[in-house]
Structure 1
Amino acid sequence: MLSQNIKVSANDPSNDDLQNIMPQFVLCVRDFNLDLEQNGDEITADEYLEMCLQTKTGETPEDDKYNRPRECIKKYFTRRKVFTFDRPASRKVMRTLDLAREEDLNEDFVHETEKFLAYIYTCPGKYLLNKSPVTGSMLAKLLREYVTTISDGNVPCVEDAMLIMTRQENKKHAKVAAEEYKVFLKQIQLPVYDKNKLCDSNLKFKKENLSSLQSKLMFDTDSKFQKSTEVKRS
């Protein structure tokens, strides 16, 4: 359904690149009491997940219904992880779980929970194609663009949304750079007796300011925002 209601690129209707923007697939199975083994050999939880994602070879409607979600998970979620949680505690403790202490909980459940938390908290953040990390404000801009597009009855395009978002971010960074230069100018004490020293100081600040701006700009291939900032500082 997602592949039918979102486009990665306006020039590629196949959506083969959708897997590149999908988040990591983390499956949590509660009250898991099966033995993690296959043909008598012990397997990991991740191997168990891959085993569960195996498809059937039949061509009946039932086979298609069984295979379709598994095929989609494997196609669109190339990074997969599973955690198998034991029952949290005994039936008596479960009745008043909100009052339970950690020592009242199942040791295996606590251990798996610690593994899960450690994994989630160390997962790398999302990055753009230029390796820039996606910040909270960038994510908010992307979501706003998606919602606006869907509300207008159109199919959102990831590339278009990212282009709009990066333009907004670049505009913000360019404005900050220009404001920093204004602050620098206001700190100059008049009258100026050593013009060479002032020119050197001005040149040094511009260079550092420009270097900082360039490190933040995204997909500014034509240097549009860099040039606009230079005009404001001249």
Structure 2
Amino acid sequence: MDKPVCLIDSTSDGKLCVQESAVQILQKIEQPVVVVSVVGLYRTGKSYLMNRLAGKQTGFALGSTIQSKTKGIWMWCVPHPTKKETTLVLLDTEGLGDVDKGDSKHDTKIFSLAVLLSSTIVLNSRGTIDNRAIEEMQYVTELTEYIKIKSPDEVVDDSEFVKFFPSFIWAVRDFTLQRKINGKDATDDEYLEFALKLKLGNSVQVMNYNLPRECIRKYFPSRKCFTFPFPTNPDNVSYLETLDPAEISKPFLEVTDCFSRFIFDHSQVKNLKDGHKVTGRVWVILRKHMWKPSLVGLCHVWRML
């Protein structure tokens, strides 16, 4: 593919629909697939990272206004740069929390599809890993609770979710703070674990504080963090795809390169629970099973994975 195509479209009334042209592309892929998706609030620069993973300056649409540019889920299939006879499937998802959309259920669907289809999921946020950013991971709780509700005749062990949940990367953009914990320098990963540290106590406030952190710790035991400095002058941030590399800060490019290498080296081929490697054709079957109103199909995918 020389450019991304829409896999799942989001209509003006919030409905999601699969694009058959994208399905036809996937059905021709007989190689194992590594699926990497990016999720996060709209207008936080998700598409730029996916373009870099594709080895391109442009591709996934980057917007320069306050409106969300990506709608639904867009797909780009490229040869994996480090794994022979493997296809890298990149998924750029619609931004969460779009004020024009105003539908949390729609956001949950987008997030859930990304989680269940991916080998690695990248959460893209801006500024810091603060309590608000962590609370936005409520979609994990909603997804697991939904599967439990829709499986009334089964005893669902939380540990089962871990087997098919993707590895997790938190990409913090425009990070300007000093990474220090108790006066000592900290790595990106130590910063993430510090942000996910639980509080002691049984009060409602403590339980509400701990819940999203417990979800991330439990369902994403394989997790990584990258903090990205400002890429360029703030006035030019919205035009990254057109900037000359000399206009982008060297520290930002260095972190971007480390981020890309980590994904290439550590993101695994998507597997079924029996160890069978997923190809493009198999991935289409998974997508068809989960594609049912109100996410009922997610339960079917969970049983297959």
TM range (shorter): 0.5 to 0.7
Is 1:47 matched with 2:193? no
Aligned-partner Cα distance in 1 for 2:297–2:290:
10
Aligned residues: percent identity? Answer: 32
Alignment correspondent of 1:3: 144
8 Å Cα contact 1:6-1:157 kept in structure 2: no
Structure 2: which 5+ residue stretches go unaligned?
1-141
Q: 1:27 aligns with which of 159, 162, 170?
A: 170
**Measured at CA, do residues 80 and 152 of structure 1 come closer, stay the same or move farther in structure 2, by a change above 3 Å?**
closer
Alignment correspondent of 1:67: 210
8 Å Cα contact 1:55-1:67 kept in structure 2: yes
Aligned-partner Cα distance in 2 for 1:98–1:155:
35
Secondary structure at the aligned position of 2:192 is classed as helix
- Which protein is bigger by CA-based radius of gyration? 1
- Cα offset, 1:40, TM superposition: 2.6
8 Å Cα contact 1:146-1:156 kept in structure 2: yes
Q: How does 1:1-234 map to 2 (within 5 A)?
A: 1-6=142-147, 11-94=154-237, 97-122=240-265, 123-148=267-292, 150=293, 156-158=299-301, 160-161=303-304
Alignment correspondent of 2:124: none
8 Å Cα contact 1:27-1:83 kept in structure 2: yes
Aligned-partner Cα distance in 2 for 1:47–1:160:
34
Higher strand share: 2
- Cα offset, 1:105, TM superposition: 0.9
In the superposition, the TM-score normalised over structure 1's length comes to 0.60
**Measured at CA, do residues 96 and 79 of structure 1 come closer, stay the same or move farther in structure 2, by a change above 3 Å?**
closer
**Measured at CA, do residues 95 and 139 of structure 1 come closer, stay the same or move farther in structure 2, by a change above 3 Å?**
closer
**Measured at CA, do residues 145 and 51 of structure 1 come closer, stay the same or move farther in structure 2, by a change above 3 Å?**
same
Aligned-partner Cα distance in 2 for 1:68–1:56:
10
**Measured at CA, do residues 92 and 3 of structure 1 come closer, stay the same or move farther in structure 2, by a change above 3 Å?**
closer
**Measured at CA, do residues 33 and 132 of structure 1 come closer, stay the same or move farther in structure 2, by a change above 3 Å?**
same
Instruction: Provide the aligned C-alpha RMSD in A.
Output: 2.6
**Measured at CA, do residues 155 and 91 of structure 1 come closer, stay the same or move farther in structure 2, by a change above 3 Å?**
closer
Structure 1: which 5+ residue stretches go unaligned?
163-234
Aligned-partner Cα distance in 2 for 1:39–1:91:
31
- Count of residue correspondences: 161
Aligned-partner Cα distance in 1 for 2:145–2:230:
38
Aligned-partner Cα distance in 1 for 2:190–2:209:
19
Secondary structure at the aligned position of 2:199 is classed as coil
8 Å Cα contact 1:30-1:86 kept in structure 2: yes
**Measured at CA, do residues 152 and 94 of structure 1 come closer, stay the same or move farther in structure 2, by a change above 3 Å?**
closer
